[in-house]
C-alpha cells in the first residue's frame, strides 16, 4: 500500500519543526512494509491512504476534507490545542526522521537563516512528547527514545510544557542525565512554554536552548525582582530567547491594567532597551475599550525594538541614555524609512498628548525616565 503523508505546517511555513505524529505513523507503516512518502502538496488521489497533519491554527484549512474517502487528518489545529493520542503501539515508536529526507533542499532553499544547520538539528534530534493529556507526565515517554546518546537536541512537541505538572523538573532530570552520559544538552520545542510567574520564567530560561526552536510566553506582568533577574540572565549569557509578553493577560479590564501596570511595563521596556534585551509586548485585540491605548503599546514596542538590527557598539552609541521623548525628537530621524512607516512623528505627538490627558504620571516618565547603568 502507498501511504502519502502531508505536513501542512511545513508546506506553509517551511522553517518549522517536523511533525511528530507523522514521523511515528511513518515508523509504523514502514514496519508493516508499506511504501511511505512525504507529499509536499495535498494529493490524496495519488495514494491508497493519505494522512494530513496540521498543528498551527492559522485559519488556513483545505475545503471538504471529510469528503475525501482515503484521508485521515488531525493535529492540534483540528482539536483546539488538545492532543488526540495515537494508539499506544504507535505512540511508543521511535519517530522516523528519515520521512523528511526529501525536504532538505526545500528547507535549505528558504531564505533568511542558517537553513542547513536547522535541518541537521531536526534530523539529529530526539523528538518526543512528554505528556499525552497535556497535564501529567506520560510514564512511557522514554520509550520514544532510541539514539539518545548521539542526539544533539531534545525536541518536545507538547502544546505547552509549562502546563504539565512537574514538566520543568522532568526536563531538568533529562538534561542532568545528558551531562552525565555525554549526549544532548540543548532543548527545543514546537510550541512556546507559557509562564504566569516570574520564577517559572527564570526556570525555563536556565535551560540551554535550541538556537531556533525555543520560545517562552509570559501571561501577565513580570514581577520587578524577576524582571531584573531576567534582564541580567539574558545579558550575562549573551543568548537570545524569544519572549512573547502578553501584558494584559492577568488584568480583568482596561482600567485595572492602566491603574496597576502600564507605568511598570513602560519602565521595563526602558530597562530592557538600555541593556539591549528585546521582547514583544502583546495584548488581546478586544481588551482595550479605547483603541488609542493599543497604539500607545505599539509606541512602546517601536521605541524598544526599532534599532535592534544595529551592531552592539553602534546600538549603544545611538541610544545613549535617551528617554522616549529624546527618541521621538532625535533618534527617530536616524531610523531607516521602512521603520518610520510603522509610526509617524505626527502620530507620536498625538499619542503624547493623549497620555498627558489620561495618565500624567506616565507622561512625565516619557520625558524623565531612563536607566543610568552605573547607578543601576
For the chain, what is the domain count? 1
The position carrying cell 505513523 is 25
Query: How large a percentage of the chain has pLDDT more than 70?
Result: 95
Using CA atoms of 180, 182, 184, 187 in order, give the dihedral in degrees to the nearest 10.
Answer: 30
Asked if residue 47 belongs to a domain, the reply is: yes
pLDDT of residue 184: 66
Element (H, E) at 327: helix 324-329
Asked if residue 77 belongs to a domain, the reply is: yes
CB 140 within 8 A of CB 92: yes
Asked if residue 211 belongs to a domain, the reply is: no
The position carrying cell 539574558 is 234
Which tens digits make up the pLDDT trace of 310-351? Answer: 888 888 888 878 899 998 888 777 777 777 778 888 999 999
Asked if residue 98 belongs to a domain, the reply is: yes
Instruction: For residue 156, give Cα distances in angstroms to 111, 128, 213, 361.
Output: 25, 5, 10, 44
How far apart are the C-alpha atoms of 239 and 59, rounded to whole Å? 33
Query: Is 115's pLDDT higher than 80?
Result: no
pLDDT of residue 373: 60
Which tens digits make up the pLDDT trace of 137-194? Answer: 999 999 998 876 778 889 999 999 999 999 999 999 988 877 777 676 789 999 999 9
Asked if residue 24 belongs to a domain, the reply is: yes
Mean pLDDT, residues 272-300 taken together: 94
Asked if residue 67 belongs to a domain, the reply is: yes
Which tens digits make up the pLDDT trace of 63-97? Answer: 899 999 999 999 999 999 899 999 999 999 999 99
Give me 4's grid cell.
502519502
pTM score of the predicted model: 0.88
Asked if residue 146 belongs to a domain, the reply is: no
Asked if residue 79 belongs to a domain, the reply is: yes
Query: Is 231's pLDDT higher than 80?
Result: yes
How far apart are the C-alpha atoms of 38 and 198, rounded to whole Å? 42
Question: What is the residue range of 99's domain?
Answer: 1-113
Q: What is the DSSP letter of 87?
A: P
Amino acid at each position: 500500500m502507498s501511504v502519502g503523508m502531508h505536513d501542512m505546517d511545513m508546506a506553509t511555513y517551511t522553517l518549522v519543526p517536523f511533525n511528530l505524529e507523522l514521523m511515528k505513523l511513518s515508523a509504523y507503516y514502514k514496519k508493516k512494509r508499506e511504501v511511505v512518502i512525504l507529499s509536499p502538496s495535498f494529493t490524496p488521489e495519488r495514494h491508497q491512504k493519505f494522512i494530513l497533519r496540521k498543528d498551527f491554527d492559522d485559519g488556513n484549512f483545505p475545503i471538504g476534507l471529510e469528503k475525501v474517502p482515503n484521508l485521515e487528518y488531525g493535529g492540534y489545529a483540528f482539536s483546539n490545542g488538545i492532543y488526540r493520542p495515537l494508539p499506544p503501539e504507535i505512540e511508543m515508536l521511535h519517530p522516523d526522521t528519515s520521512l523528511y529526507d526529501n525536504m532538505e533542499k526545500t528547507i535549505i532553499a528558504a531564505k533568511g537563516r542558517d537553513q542547513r544547520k536547522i535541518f541537521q538539528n531536526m534530523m539529529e534530534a530526539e523528538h518526543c512528547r512528554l505528556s499525552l493529556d497535556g497535564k501529567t507526565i506520560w510514564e512511557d515517554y522514554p520509550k520514544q527514545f532510541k539514539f539518545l546518546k548521539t542526539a544533539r537536541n531534545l525536541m518536545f512537541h507538547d502544546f505547552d510544557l509549562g502546563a504539565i505538572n512537574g514538566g520543568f523538573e522532568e526536563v531538568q532530570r533529562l538534561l542532568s542525565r545528558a551531562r552525565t552520559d555525554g549526549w544532548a544538552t540543548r532543548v527545543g520545542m514546537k510550541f512556546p512554554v507559557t509562564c504566569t510567574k516570574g520564577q517559572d520564567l527564570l526556570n525555563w530560561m536556565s535551560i540551554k536552548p535550541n538556537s531556533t526552536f525555543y520560545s517562552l510566553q509570559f501571561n501577565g506582568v513580570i514581577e520587578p525582582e524577576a524582571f531584573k533577574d531576567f534582564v541580567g540572565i539574558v545579558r550575562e549569557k549573551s543568548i537570545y530567547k524569544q519572549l512573547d509578553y502578553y501584558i494584559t493577560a492577568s488584568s480583568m479590564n482596561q482600567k485595572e491594567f492602566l491603574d496597576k501596570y502600564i507605568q511598570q511595563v513602560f519602565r521595563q521596556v526602558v530597562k530592557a532597551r538600555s541593556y539591549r534585551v528585546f521582547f514583544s509586548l502583546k495584548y488581546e485585540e478586544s481588551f482595550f475599550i479605547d483603541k488609542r491605548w493599543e497604539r500607545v503599546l505599539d509606541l512602546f514596542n517601536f521605541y524598544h525594538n526599532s534599532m535592534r538590527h544595529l551592531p552592539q557598539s553602534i546600538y549603544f552609541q545611538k541610544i545613549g541614555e535617551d528617554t522616549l521623548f529624546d527618541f521621538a525628537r532625535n533618534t527617530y530621524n536616524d531610523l531607516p524609512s521602512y521603520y518610520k512607516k510603522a509610526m509617524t512623528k505626527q502620530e507620536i505627538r498625538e499619542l503624547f498628548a493623549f497620555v498627558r490627558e489620561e495618565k500624567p504620571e506616565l507622561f512625565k516618565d516619557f520625558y524623565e525616565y531612563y536607566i543610568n547603568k552605573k547607578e543601576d
